[in-house]
C-alpha cells in the first residue's frame, strides 16, 4: 500500500508541477498558487461531503495549530518553487524541490528513531551530490574560481526545506485524524492565508490584462490534491520514510514532460544531477 500510494503521489505531483510551470509563466506564481489550491480544495470538499460521517473528529482541536504551521510552510515552499519555475528551467528547479523527501526522511530518523540502512545512507550522498551538480555553474568555477549558483536554485532549496518539514509534520496529524482530514484542513488554512494576502496587497483575483486559464488551473488543482491524498493515505498505513522518498521522485515525471513538451535542453552535468537525485530518492526508500 505504501509503495503504491507513493507512486501515485509521484505521478500526480509531477504532472501538477509541470502544468503549474506553464500557468505561472502566464498568470504569475501567486495567483497560480491560489487558484490551483482553491480548485483542489473544492474537489476535496465534494469528497468530504459524501463521506462526512466516516471521519474521526476527536483530535481536530489539538491538531489545528500543527496544521496551521503546515499551511504556512506550504505557502512559502510553493511560492518559492513557482517563482523558480517562472525564471529557470523546469528540469533544474523541479529535482531540487523534489529532494524534500530527503528532509522528511532525516527528520524521521531524528524524531521517530527510524534506522537508516547502509544503502539509505549512500542515497543521501547521491541526493546531495545531485543537488550540487544541478546548482553550481562549473564553467564559472573552473574559469573564475568562483562559485555561482544557477538561477532558480535558491528558490528550489527553499521549496525543498518547506515541503520537507511540512510533510514531516503532517505525519503527526495523519496518525490521529487519518489520511484525508489533515490534507483537507491545512489546504483550507492555506487558502485563508493566500486570500488574506491578496486582500492586503489589493491584488485582483482575476487580472483583466491576462486571460484566465480555467482548465489549466483546474487540472493543476486536481492533480495536486490527488498527490496529497495519496501521500496521506500512504503514511497513514506505513512509514513516512518509505512513502515520502517515492512521492518526492515526482521530478522524474516533471523533467520528462518538460523535455517532451517544452523541448528543454539538459547538459551532461544536469542529467547526472537529476539521475543522482532521483536514484537517491528511490534508494532511500528501500
User: Does residue 157 carry a pLDDT above 90?
Assistant: yes
pLDDT, position 283: 74
pLDDT band at 236 (very low <50, low <70, confident <90, very high): confident
Enclosing H/E stretch for 276: helix 268-283
Residue 72 cell numbers, joined: 504556512
Measured distance CA(254)–CA(8) in Å, rounded? 14
Give the whole-number percent of the chain exceeding pLDDT 70: 90
Give the whole-number percent of the chain exceeding pLDDT 90: 22
Residue 56 located in a structural domain: no
In order of 64, 142, 170, 239, the CA distances from 108 in angstroms are 21, 38, 12, 9
Contact 84, 122 (CB under 8 A): no
Residue 171 located in a structural domain: yes
- No. of helices (H) and no. of strands (E), the chain: 13, 0
By residue range, what is the domain housing residue 271?
A: 2-49+66-283
pLDDT, position 225: 85
Quick one: which of 108, 77, 76 has its CA closest to 175?
108
Quick one: which of 218, 166, 173 has its CA closest to 193?
166
Residue 60 located in a structural domain: no
Highest-confidence range of 32-41, 119-128, 227-236, by mean pLDDT? 32-41
pLDDT, position 38: 92
User: Does residue 213 carry a pLDDT above 90?
Assistant: no
pLDDT band at 111 (very low <50, low <70, confident <90, very high): confident
Number of domains into which the chain is organized: 1
Q: 264 versus 3: which is more confidently predicted?
A: 264
User: Does residue 189 carry a pLDDT above 90?
Assistant: yes
- Taking residues 251-264, what's their average pLDDT? 86
Residue 212 located in a structural domain: yes
pLDDT, position 144: 55
CA atoms within 13 A on the CB side of 126: 20
Quick one: which of 85, 121, 129, 78 has its CA closest to 274?
129
pLDDT band at 150 (very low <50, low <70, confident <90, very high): confident
3-state secondary structure of 136: strand
pLDDT, position 113: 75
Indicate the average pLDDT of the chain: 83
Measured distance CA(191)–CA(225) in Å, rounded? 13
Q: How many CB atoms lie within 10 A of CB 195?
A: 14
Residues shown for the chain:
286
pLDDT band at 138 (very low <50, low <70, confident <90, very high): low
Residue 106 located in a structural domain: yes
Measured distance CA(181)–CA(133) in Å, rounded? 39
Tens-digit pLDDT profile for residues 47-100:
899 988 888 777 888 999 999 999 999 999 999 998 998 888 888 888 888 888
Measured distance CA(86)–CA(97) in Å, rounded? 14
pLDDT band at 158 (very low <50, low <70, confident <90, very high): very high
Residue 57 located in a structural domain: no
pLDDT, position 69: 96
User: Does residue 165 carry a pLDDT above 90?
Assistant: yes
Residue 54 located in a structural domain: no
**φ, ψ at 51 (rounded to 5°):** -125, 25
Q: How many CB atoms lie within 10 A of CB 41?
A: 18
Residue 92 located in a structural domain: yes
Amino acid at each position: 500500500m505504501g509503495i503504491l500510494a507513493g507512486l501515485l503521489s509521484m505521478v500526480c505531483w509531477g504532472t501538477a508541477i509541470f502544468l503549474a510551470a506553464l500557468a505561472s509563466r502566464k498568470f504569475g506564481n501567486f495567483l497560480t498558487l491560489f487558484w490551483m489550491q482553491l480548485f483542489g480544495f473544492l474537489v476535496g470538499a465534494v469528497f468530504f461531503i459524501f463521506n462526512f460521517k466516516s471521519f474521526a473528529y476527536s483530535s481536530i482541536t489539538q491538531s489545528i495549530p500543527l496544521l496551521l504551521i503546515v499551511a504556512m510552510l506550504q505557502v512559502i515552499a510553493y511560492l518559492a518553487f513557482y517563482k523558480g519555475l517562472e525564471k529557470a528551467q523546469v528540469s533544474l528547479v523541479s529535482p531540487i524541490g523534489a529532494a524534500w523527501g530527503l528532509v522528511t526522511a532525516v527528520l524521521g530518523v531524528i524524531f521517530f528513531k527510524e534506522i537508516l540502512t547502509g544503502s539509505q545512507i549512500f542515497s543521501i550522498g547521491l541526493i546531495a551530490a545531485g543537488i550540487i551538480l544541478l546548482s553550481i555553474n562549473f564553467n564559472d568555477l573552473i574559469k573564475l574560481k568562483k562559485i555561482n549558483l544557477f538561477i532558480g536554485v535558491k528558490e528550489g532549496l527553499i521549496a525543498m526545506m518547506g515541503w520537507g518539514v511540512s510533510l514531516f509534520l503532517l505525519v503527526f496529524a495523519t496518525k490521529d485524524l487519518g489520511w484525508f482530514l489533515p490534507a483537507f484542513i491545512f489546504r483550507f488554512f492555506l487558502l485563508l492565508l493566500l486570500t488574506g494576502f491578496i486582500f492586503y496587497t489589493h491584488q485582483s483575483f482575476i487580472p483583466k490584462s491576462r486571460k484566465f486559464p480555467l482548465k489549466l488551473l483546474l487540472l493543476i488543482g486536481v492533480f495536486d490534491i490527488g498527490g496529497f491524498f495519496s501521500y496521506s493515505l500512504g503514511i497513514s498505513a506505513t512509514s513516512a520514510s518509505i512513502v515520502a522518498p517515492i512521492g518526492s521522485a515526482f521530478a522524474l515525471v516533471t523533467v520528462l514532460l518538460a523535455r517532451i513538451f517544452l523541448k528543454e535542453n539538459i547538459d551532461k552535468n544536469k542529467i547526472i544531477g537529476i539521475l543522482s537525485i532521483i536514484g537517491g530518492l528511490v534508494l532511500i526508500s528501500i
